[in-house]
Amino acid sequence: MSPQRFESLLVAPDTSLLQAMSRLDATAQGVLLVVDASRRLLRTITDGDLRRATLAGASPRAALGSLPGGPAQTVGLGASMHDVLQLMDARRIDHVPVLDDDGRVVDLVTRRELSRRTYLSAPHLGDDEASLVREAFESNWIAPLGPHVDAFERELADYVGVGHAAATSSGTAALHLGLRLLGVGPGDAVLCSSLTFVASANPIRQLGAVPVFVDSEPEGWSMSPEALRTALSQLGAEGLRPKAAVVVNLYGQSARMDELIPLLDEAGVPMLEDAAESLGATLGGRASGSFGRLALFSFNGNKIITTSGGGMLVGEDPGLIAHARKLSTQAREPARHYEHVEDGYNYRLSNVLAGIGRGQLRVLDQRVRRRREIFAFYARELAAVQGLRWMVEPQGHVGTRWLSAFTLDLPEASRRRDALLDFLERHNVEARPVWKPMHLQPLYAGSRYFPHAPGEDVSRALFEGGVCLPSGSNMDDTQLAHVCELLLRGLQLVAGGSR
């Protein structure tokens, strides 16, 4: 429901039954909200109320305020969707007005909305996945190795334009292997983007190394070249050379590799490119995931394509990728018996899941187009909203808009962000805060952190005011329009300062 449509549901108590009927007809929500001059809710009026009043002999000229009936069932701004649904079921009603602390009506939840959830980023299968999986079944390649794994590796490497790829059971597993292959071990310092999912940092710690977190740049949100320069020169001055740098491509867009790579090269620090969120993006025409000495992708359920769970480590060095395959299959030596020299893992992708991955890869470009379209829709519909700043796609970048994300550029941003997320959740729409930076996580308390500029903590600000919107490629235009209308109303509500 758009802000205008919501306003048109509000009527004064001196409205006549006749006027109310025609307003109900025009607004088609099945309910009107009778409010006093300061928008305090007096009662609700449904079709049924009007019918009953007419049958009981009320004049069409009678005022709504004179009709019998108790106060409306309402909830406060703290109510969740489940609270609302419970109230609807208990009272057999289909509409629940939401009141602020002063009793003013600020929102209305309808049962229709609650029947269909809008997800942040749901899996979206194409036409070929089922038959590719069936192929695996029919050929009995259910083992963790098989023809789909080899083909998926080759097809993904071709898509990204890199020489070699090793399929893994998750993106996190690929990250862990990548760090191992770059020689990261106990006591090593490893640079890492702070604004990311925790999986980017955990393998560093699990290898006994020490993460050093680097801030974001304010436009594209990935690693700040300024912060990296400061980090490298500060660590250099202390005689510390980081063993590797985990550079994360955030929300479907490459980091500023053109500026980051020369800095890392000069310092002799190899890059592990965390492209878990950026498959399908390019920078200067080059695919995301082709910049690092090694790079990884994720095929988790919410990523742009999915195998339900899976990952891939890619790179130009055939020795490194062959070593990754060995480590991911328990590091078995080439011998008839089980011979082990190195410490290995069970990290290989199964042949069944690789079949799904091959089908998904065939529709990847369509998925990218749809996600970009969704972003363009949001940006157009919300263009007039003050205090809202989208993640920027810098010159030369073509991202996937895996998640459409903005920050609230308003005072007390985090309170407003939470109120907006509560509002959306009450309407059965899944949105999320931007990643909470690693340097603010209790797990990484005490870790070193290099901000974008002295006293300017960009990733913290992005977290505090940041919102990721539903962006799944299988959202239809009706859902998208619904989310936009909710956003217009929700943003108005939270920008006004009422809670």
Ligand X SMILES: *Cc1c(COP(=O)(O)O)cnc(C)c1O
> E strands within 361-437?
388-390, 397-398, 404-408, 432-433
> Closest by alpha carbon to 153, among 391, 317, 313?
313
Give the interface segment with ligand X, choosing from 6-14, 134-142, 237-245, 273-281 (CB under 6 A).
273-281
# of chain residues touching ligand X (CB under 6 A) = 14
- Residue from 121, 200, 222, 360 binding ligand X (CB under 6 A): 200
Least spacing, CB of residue 137 vs ligand X, in Å: 24
Judge contact between 345 and 330, C-beta under 8 A. yes
> Closest by alpha carbon to 288, among 178, 368, 224?
368
CA distance 401 to 276: 13
Judge contact between 29 and 9, C-beta under 8 A. yes
Nearer to ligand X, 222 or 428 (CB): 222
Least spacing, CB of residue 145 vs ligand X, in Å: 19
Q: Does 360 bind ligand X (CB under 6 A)?
A: no
Nearer to ligand X, 32 or 352 (CB): 352
**Residue 20 C-beta-side C-alpha neighbours within 13 Å:** 31
Per-residue contact flags (x/-) with ligand X for residues 230 to 259, judged by CB under 6 A: ------------------x-----------
Q: Checking DSSP bridges between strand 210-214 and strand 397-398, what pairing results, if any?
A: unpaired
Q: Does 447 bind ligand X (CB under 6 A)?
A: no
Phi, psi at residue 191, to the nearest 5°? -75, 145
Least spacing, CB of residue 277 vs ligand X, in Å: 5
Helices (H), strands (E): how many in the chain? Answer: 17, 21
Nearer to ligand X, 171 or 280 (CB): 171
Which residue's C-beta sits nearest to ligand X? 171
Q: Which of residues 48-87 bind ligand X (CB under 6 A)?
A: none
Nearer to ligand X, 196 or 288 (CB): 196
Q: Does 199 bind ligand X (CB under 6 A)?
A: yes
Least spacing, CB of residue 132 vs ligand X, in Å: 20
Nearer to ligand X, 300 or 350 (CB): 300
Q: Token pair for residue 441?
A: 């996580």
Judge contact between 215 and 458, C-beta under 8 A. yes
Q: Which DSSP string corresponds to 123-166?
A: ----SSHHHHHHHHHHTT--SS-SHHHHHHHHHHHHHHT-SEEE
Give the interface segment with ligand X, choosing from 197-205, 222-230, 231-239, 372-380 (CB under 6 A).
197-205
Q: Which of residues 135-194 bind ligand X (CB under 6 A)?
A: 170-172
Least spacing, CB of residue 270 vs ligand X, in Å: 18
Q: Which of residues 281-320 bind ligand X (CB under 6 A)?
A: 298, 300, 311
- Residue from 109, 276, 320, 421 binding ligand X (CB under 6 A): 276
CB atoms inside a 10 Å sphere around CB 266 = 10
Q: Does 196 bind ligand X (CB under 6 A)?
A: yes
Q: Does 280 bind ligand X (CB under 6 A)?
A: no
Helix-helix angle 477-495:413-426, to 10 degrees: 140
Helix-helix angle 147-160:129-138, to 10 degrees: 150
Least spacing, CB of residue 404 vs ligand X, in Å: 15
Least spacing, CB of residue 402 vs ligand X, in Å: 9
Phi, psi at residue 434, to the nearest 5°? -60, 155
Nearer to ligand X, 324 or 480 (CB): 324
Q: Does 273 bind ligand X (CB under 6 A)?
A: no
Nearer to ligand X, 248 or 257 (CB): 248
CA distance 164 to 68: 75
Q: Does 277 bind ligand X (CB under 6 A)?
A: yes
> At a CB cut-off of 8 Å and minimum separation 6, what does 156 contact?
165, 167, 297, 312, 314, 357, 361
> Closest by alpha carbon to 33, among 60, 6, 51?
6
> At a CB cut-off of 8 Å and minimum separation 6, what does 337 contact?
none
Nearer to ligand X, 300 or 407 (CB): 300
Least spacing, CB of residue 252 vs ligand X, in Å: 10
Nearer to ligand X, 218 or 311 (CB): 311
- Residue from 197, 213, 221, 423 binding ligand X (CB under 6 A): 197
Nearer to ligand X, 375 or 423 (CB): 375
Q: Give the helix ranges, DSSP H, for 268-363.
A: 318-328, 351-362
Q: Checking DSSP bridges between strand 294-298 and strand 311-315, what pairing results, if any?
A: antiparallel
- Residue from 274, 457, 464, 485 binding ligand X (CB under 6 A): 274
Coil/strand/helix, residue 124: coil
Nearer to ligand X, 251 or 423 (CB): 251
Least spacing, CB of residue 264 vs ligand X, in Å: 18
Nearer to ligand X, 212 or 235 (CB): 212
Q: What is the b/e burial string over 475-491, where b = at least 16 CB atoms within 10 angstroms of the residue's CB?
A: beeebbebbbbbbbbbb
Binding site for ligand X (CB under 6 A): 170-172, 196-197, 199-200, 248, 274, 276-277, 298, 300, 311
